[in-house]
Amino acid sequence: MELFLDKFEGFVGVNFWTMLFAWVNILILYLAMRKYLFGPIKNMIDSRQKEIDDLYADAEASRESAQAMEAEYQEKLAKAEEEGEEIRRTAQRRATLREEEILREAEESARRTLRRAEEQVELERARALNEVKDEVGALAVEIATAIIGRDVAGEEHSALIDAFIDNVGEDK
């Protein structure tokens, strides 16, 4: 059993040179990994992080640009609404002025038509009055001739007619 323990102790025991050799191997392995594995991986991670940061910066710039464009759009929309309202008000004022002008023209036309109608009525009245005078005059001459039994002269005839018409107008 002692042989077993000596072998076991040699197997489990700590040897300074073996331990030094293991530490040197670990140090060499660490340096090799640091140069060939950790460095490129770190560079790759750094480049990926830079790409991500650039994407975030681009996204932020795009967002700010979109906000600026939205603000500009809102401003243009407000101006367009103001212009539309001004155009509507101007059109309404023009329509009101045109309406007033049309009404004035219609009133003036109605006045002219009424004046012409009144003149026409006056002419017709004068014509009818002259016709009545002529008929009354002729009738008066016939009556006077029948009553007097003689023919009346032209001047007397006119004077009698005028006197009769004046008297007829006063009765009314």
Higher-pLDDT residue of 162 and 129 is 129
Rounded to whole angstroms, the Cα distance separating 128 from 167 reads: 18
Domain range summary for the chain, segments of one domain joined by +: 42-171
| pLDDT 10s digits, 4-39 | 556 666 566 667 888 899 999 999 999 999 888 888
Whether residue 87 is predicted with pLDDT greater than 70 in this model: the reply is: yes
CA dist 42 and 35 (Å) reads 11
pLDDT tens track for 96-120: 999 999 999 999 999 999 999 999 9
- What CA–CA distances, in Å, run from 11 to 8, 78, 141, 153? 5, 90, 180, 184
Mean pLDDT to the nearest integer, 78-89: 95
Q: pLDDT, tens digit, for every residue of 130-147?
A: 888 777 777 776 776 666
Structure confidence at residue 72 (pLDDT): 95
Buried b (16+ CB within 10 A) or exposed e, 46-72: eeeeeeeeeeeeeeeeeeeeeeeeeee
Is pLDDT at 168 greater than 80 in this prediction? no
Q: Structure pTM?
A: 0.40
Tokens of 170: 């006063």
